[in-house]
């Protein structure tokens, strides 16, 4: 996707005059955002993969402080975390106008939008609303066998088992039926899907689609929609 051209001077003004006071960015957060902005949007790119060590060395700051500041920038919506792995952080640098885009309220006046939710930092087993968001994402269909399941006969499964280090991220949780959950157990999801194919419970086309869905899930492409109730609960914390 081709990025729109930006007015660097205008972005810098919006950053200092709007984004910094609105998000209450610290000096270190400001410096890190500016550094990543220079290596992405000013270079015509939206994303950058970097390691904390690389960033710390570039800025001459301790790695622990840099890691904390990056997490805060992600939480505040100034950065969007796409992927975090042993290769580093893959992030999108959000322009000030994108973080603080105006919205129209019921009175017809404009108000500033809140920073984007950072789904990658959320524990989707923590509340009922978050668990329901995973079920809703699958549309009442078992992620593994594709069988339609009633609302009271489904459960959540960790694609990578917790015993193997799997998290409660939306990237690692799927809605499945009460049969598939114990049958999969702690096996790799790919192996279980192939077993369903051998048993005739999935067609070859279904198997290919399920394996692609696993890849999309790990890449963060299957993002659940959060309810207004969960948004309100987040605001109270």
The CATH number linked to 201 is: 1.10.30.50
The answer to whether residues 220 and 120 touch, using CB atoms and an 8 Å cutoff, is: yes
Q: How far apart are CA 223 and CA 235, in angstroms?
A: 20
> Does residue 31 share a domain with residue 12?
yes
User: What's the structural domain count of the chain?
Assistant: 2
Q: Where are the beta strands (DSSP E) in 37-78?
A: 47-50
- Nearest-angstrom CA–CA distance, 176 and 27: 46
Measured between alpha carbons, how far is 229 from 37 in angstroms, rounded to an integer?
34
State whether 214 and 173 are in the same domain. Answer: yes
Same domain assignment for residues 115 and 140: no
Q: What are the pLDDT digits (tens) for 27-77?
A: 999 999 999 999 998 888 888 999 999 999 998 888 889 999 999 999 888
Does 65 map to a domain? yes
Residues 102 and 54 in one domain: yes
Confidence of residue 85 (pLDDT cuts 50, 70, 90): confident
- Residue 90 resides in a domain: yes
E strand spans, 86-228? 88-93, 102-104, 110-112, 154-158, 173-177
> What's the domain range around 174?
122-218
C-alpha–C-alpha distance, residues 235 and 136, integer Å:
22
Point out the domain boundary residue: 62, 92, 119.
119
Whether residues 70 and 54 share a domain: the answer is yes
103 pLDDT more than 50: no
Flag whether the pTM goes above 0.85. Answer: no
pLDDT of residue 227: 60
At 19, list the tokens: 């984004």
């Amino acid at each position: 996707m081709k990025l729109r051209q930006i007015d660097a001077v205008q972005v810098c003004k919006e950053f200092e005059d709007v984004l910094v006071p609105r998000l209450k960015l610290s000096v270190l957060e400001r410096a890190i955002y500016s550094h990543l902005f220079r290596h992405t949007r000013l270079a015509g790119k939206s994303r950058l993969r970097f390691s904390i060590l690389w960033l710390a060395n570039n800025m001459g700051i301790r790695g622990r402080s840099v890691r904390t500041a990056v997490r805060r920038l992600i939480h505040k919506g100034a950065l969007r975390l796409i992927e975090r792995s042993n290769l580093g952080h893959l992030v999108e640098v959000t322009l000030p106008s994108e973080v603080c885009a105006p919205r129209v309220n019921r009175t017809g006046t404009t108000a500033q939008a809140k920073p984007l939710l950072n789904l990658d930092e959320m524990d989707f087993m923590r509340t009922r609303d978050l668990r329901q968001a995973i079920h809703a994402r699958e549309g009442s269909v078992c992620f593994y066998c594709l069988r339609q399941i009633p609302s009271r006969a489904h459960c959540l499964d960790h694609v990578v088992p917790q015993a193997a280090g799997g998290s409660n991220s939306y990237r690692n949780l799927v809605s499945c039926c009460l049969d598939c959950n114990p049958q999969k157990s702690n096996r790799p999801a790919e192996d279980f899907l192939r077993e369903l194919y051998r048993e005739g419970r999935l067609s070859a086309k279904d198997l290919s689609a399920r394996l692609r869905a696993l890849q999309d899930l790990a890449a963060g492409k299957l993002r659940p929609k959060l309810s207004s109730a969960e948004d309100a609960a987040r605001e109270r914390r």
